[in-house]
């Protein structure tokens, strides 16, 4: 299912928000987005300029899923109505959001890192002036093996996911491509280097 991207804009806000950098990580299921984010979070844990976003999802947290905050459909709708989210979208029968605090961090010059849907990429520039997109990928056989290890889908569903992934790559927006087929340290260090560049850019923006 293709996600639908929606952005709530509060009256009186000045957009796009500047000073900081929003780093969006996207990629197919099995590419290891949560693993790379966890690796990078540990590597820069003592550096306050980085803020890793904990997503809000209408799904109960499970041991094999990302760490996230959970709201049921009714609570999610109420939070959306009250302006509690910076971004929100729907995908695969679930609703996702990033908390409003993301805007505060960007305004104050931080590098904000979040796992988002590809459907949001066309709209991010209207919300945040400085956006870096990192497209995480992996070889098809690696994706298939990782998805099979999760045990959530049968072979037919995994094949369908891989077909969608191939189409997404063919239609990919301008992004930094990062292959995560091998040991996490390889892609993880490359991702940390991308974050370092974003932090250097944010530091310059704050001085302008």
Q: Which domains does the chain have, with CATH numbers?
A: 17-53+104-207 (3.40.50.300)
Residue 27 has what pLDDT?
87
Average confidence (pLDDT) over 53-74:
80
Q: Which residue numbers belong to the known binding site for ATP?
A: 27-34
Beta carbons of 133 and 27 less than 8 angstroms apart:
no
Between the alpha carbon of residue 197 and those of residues 8, 53, 191, the distances in Å are 29, 19, 10
Q: Residue 44 gets which letter from DSSP?
A: T
pLDDT, tens only, 74-127: 999 999 999 999 999 998 789 999 999 999 999 999 999 999 998 888 889 899
Report residue 93 as tokens: 């029968």
Q: In what order do the strands lie in the sheet with 69-70?
A: 4-6, 85-91, 94-99, 56-57, 69-70
Q: What are the b/e assignments for 133-163, b being 16+ CB within 10 Å?
A: bbbbbbeeebbbebbeeeeeeeeeebeebbe
Give one word for 27, left, alpha or beta, with left for phi > 0 and alpha for psi -120 to 50: left
* Model pLDDT for residues 16-59, shown as the tens digit of each residue: 988 999 999 998 877 889 999 999 999 999 999 999 999 999 97
Question: According to the model, what pLDDT value does residue 195 have?
Answer: 98
CA 175 to chain centroid, in Å, comes to: 13
Q: Answer whether 43's CB lies under 8 Å from 188's CB.
A: yes
């Amino acid at each position: 299912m293709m996600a639908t991207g929606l952005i709530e804009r509060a009256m009186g806000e000045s957009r796009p928000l500047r000073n900081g950098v929003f780093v969006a990580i996207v990629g197919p299921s099995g590419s290891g987005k949560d693993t790379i984010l966890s690796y990078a979070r540990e590597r820069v844990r003592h550096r306050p300029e980085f803020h890793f976003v904990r997503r809000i999802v209408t799904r109960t947290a499970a041991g094999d899923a990302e760490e996230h905050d959970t709201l049921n459909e009714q609570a999610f709708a109420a939070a959306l109505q009250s302006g509690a989210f910076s971004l929100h979208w729907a995908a695969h029968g679930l609703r996702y959001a990033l908390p409003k605090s993301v805007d505060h961090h960007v305004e104050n010059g931080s590098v904000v890192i979040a796992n988002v849907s590809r459907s949001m990429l066309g709209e991010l520039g209207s919300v945040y002036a400085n956006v870096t997109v990192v497209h995480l990928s992996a070889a098809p056989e690696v994706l298939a093996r990782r998805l099979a290890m999760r045990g959530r889908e049968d072979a037919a569903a995994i094949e369908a996911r891989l077909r969608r992934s191939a189409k997404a790559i063919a239609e990919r927006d301008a992004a930094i491509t990062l292959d995560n087929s091998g040991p996490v340290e390889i892609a993880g260090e490359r991702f940390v280097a991308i974050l370092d560049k974003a932090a250097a850019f944010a530091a310059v923006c704050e001085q302008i």
